[in-house]
Structure 1
């Protein structure tokens, strides 16, 4: 089982940076673990968490595309060039 450190990752439990390792366990499930405090999480745990809705999620993108409006800019006749 080869463990790889994730550069810049911060542990959600102890807030230590660069202490998270990622590996695939004996059952073929990807896991991550903090070498400082022992926190661990598997990809199965992550799959069960619901993704937060943002302006770039696929469900939101379709709605956003329907709301596109074309704007036309005209020069201001009162402005001096």
Structure 2
């Protein structure tokens, strides 16, 4: 199957701001846009459902960098009442 890429008349590239340089094409599941001047690329599903995005959690974030001499605080749990050791 040959992919036919067509220019979108009057479209402005979101990255470089140039007009009439964005073209689009489709396959079975996706629609693609690309700029011929700055190599911008964008895709979306044909059925209109949004792209699944990963939720931001403490696991997928970068760890904070401590300055020289800084240490994390460690909390020691209080003993339970009635534990006299």
TM-score, length of structure 2 as denominator length: 0.48
Instruction: List, as ranges, runs of 4+ consecutive aligned residues in structure 1 with deviation greater than 4 Å.
Output: none
- Segments of structure 2 that go 5 or more residues without pairing to the other structure are 52-85
**RMSD between aligned alpha carbons?**
2.1
Partner of 1:57: none
Number of residue pairs matched by the alignment: 47
Q: Show structure 1 runs of 5+ residues with no match.
A: 50-81
The structure with the greater share of residues assigned to helix is 1
- The 5-angstrom pairing of residues 17-56 of structure 1 reads 17-25=19-27, 28-44=29-45, 48=50
- Report the Cα offset of residue 47 of structure 1: 5.0
Write out aligned runs for 1:1-81 (5 A): 1-25=3-27, 28-44=29-45, 48=50
